[in-house]
Amino acid sequence: MKVAVRYYSQSGKTEKIARAIAGGAGVEAMSVTQTPVLDEAVDVLFLGGAPYANIMAPQLRSYAEALNKDHVGQVVLFTTANWSRRTILALKKLLRKKGIAVAEETFFAQASQIDKRISDAKAFGRQFSERDGTQ
């Protein structure tokens, strides 16, 4: 099974969680601002970011809008925020409208608890790769 992790982070908090998820899945996390949209198929794409001023970051929205449903088996969403999971809700709606499958399971890390959630994020990444025997 092929897995990818993509994220958008302004403060570095989402990046920490993305790297932990990627570590659990045995892949490298990449920023949506530093890598092109997937040009080859993946079975699972972990995609995340935090809401900024209570809306999804434009960079993350652009990345999600450019995804090709033929290149993604399933998207697994994650977010970091003080309280809002609005980014997850907005991404679910956008991706499902494009015909891309989105997992019901998501990962949320409160912004003030990032360091305490690293091991949970690794386990979250690992659970998807172990489900289908990639590790």
Q: What is the mean pLDDT of the chain?
A: 91
**Range 62-89 average pLDDT:** 91
**Range 95-105 average pLDDT:** 96
Q: Does domain 3-131 have CATH number 3.40.50.2300?
A: no
The overall pTM is greater than 0.75: yes
Sign of CA dihedral 60, 66, 69, 72: negative
Residue-wise pLDDT for 18-59, tens only, equals 999 999 999 999 999 998 888 789 999 999 998 887 788 999
Indicate the angle between helix axes 118-131 and 13-25, nearest 10 degrees.
40
Residue-wise pLDDT for 14-25, tens only, equals 999 999 999 999
The owner of tokens 């970011």 is 49
**Entry field: residues in the chain:** 135
The domain ranges of the chain are 3-131
